[in-house]
Each structure stands twice: as structure tokens, then as C-alpha cells.
Amino acid sequence: MISARVEGGIRLFGPWVIAGFLTRDTALLVPPRAFDTAYVARPAGRRSGAYVGLRGTIYGALGADIVATQWAAADEYRPSFQSRSEINLITNWVSRFPSGNFGIHAAMVHEYRGQVRFPVADGVRVTAASSNVFAGLLEIRIMRAVITYQIRNLAGELHQIVPDFYMPRVINLYGVRWEFVN
């Protein structure tokens, strides 16, 4: 299988504005049979798509990572449109902690995914609807330890990535990561 990706960007004061084109040759799309053995493999022709984005620092410690992808034709096992948007605050607060032993990473994330078709022998199953999922992240770093708290699917939306397999409504993740060095 041959695939290609061409990307260009221009720096607009702080962040990068990017645009790109992706393509892949014909392929046999193998289904995720772990979810349902009724899904069938389908040959697919050449597919191409385009994406645009904004990445980098907007002002001070405030940044963004926004990418939207639109495929030229509908395809099995892939949404025709998807996007991921993250607005973040990443700082080491060097003016207050000049040693660099303290840092904060806070972010709000939005993920959008259109409907996806999953072919079966007697037709096609489709995910219930497009999904809008919001998430939040807070990480506090003290020296080499990171205290993290994440909340996923903040609005508690009932959504699917695979037909008939609903994602959890709200998930809270928390913990500590620690880096040990000799």
C-alpha cells in the first residue's frame, strides 16, 4: 500500500497555521472483529483528504492544538469528518520558580467525529450519530513528580465509536507519575 502526506505551514505571530493533503492507495479494509464477527472486509479504492489546523503558542503560556480532517469520499471504518481541538495553558512559572521545578499543564479538549459505516454481510451498520466529546486535563509538576487529573466526556454524552458499543458517560482519571533517575 502506498500513502503520502504533504503539509505546509506558516507562522502567524505565535502559532502555526497548517494545511495538508493525505492520500492512500487501494487497500483491503480489515474490520475490528473483536467487537463483532459480522463485520466484513471490504476493498477500497484510492482515498484522499485534506486537513487544516492551528498549533502552538497563542499568547504567553496559552496555546492551541486544533486540527480538522475532511476525507473526499465516504469510506468504511472511518468518519468523513473529524476534528480535535485543544486550548491549553502550559507554564513552568519561571518568574516565581526560577529553578524550573514547578509546572502546570491545564487543557480543555473537544473531539468531533462524524458517523462511521461498518459493513456487514447483509448491509451496513452505522454509529448512532456524530459525537461531540469534551474533556479536561490538569497536571501539576513538582520536580519530577506529576499529579494528574483528567475528566473525559465532561457532558456525559451517550456516543459510539463502534455500533452498539456505547462509550462511558463520564470518566475521572487521577494519579501520580514519578520519574526516577540515578
Q: What is the pTM of this model?
A: 0.83
pLDDT tens-digit series, residues 160-174: 888 888 888 999 999
The three cell numbers locating residue 175: 494519579
Domain residue limits, the chain: 53-178
Neighbours of 162 (CB within 10 A): 18
20 by Cβ neighbours in 10 Å (0-12 / 13-18 / 19+) ranks as middle
Contact present, 100 and 93 (Cβ < 8 Å)? no
pLDDT tens-digit series, residues 38-97: 888 888 888 999 999 999 999 999 999 999 999 987 778 888 899 999 999 999 988 888
Q: Indicate whether 16 pLDDT > 90.
A: yes
Residue 151 identity (one-letter amino acid): I
**Residue 164, phi then psi, degrees to nearest 5:** 70, 10
pLDDT tens-digit series, residues 87-144: 999 999 888 888 889 999 999 999 998 888 888 888 877 775 778 899 999 999 999 8
pLDDT of residue 136: 97
Contact present, 48 and 27 (Cβ < 8 Å)? no
Looking at per-residue pLDDT, the higher value among 73 and 34 belongs to 34
Q: Indicate whether 35 pLDDT > 90.
A: no
Q: Indicate whether 182 pLDDT > 80.
A: no
pLDDT of residue 13: 87
Cα separation, 113 vs 115, in Å, equals 7
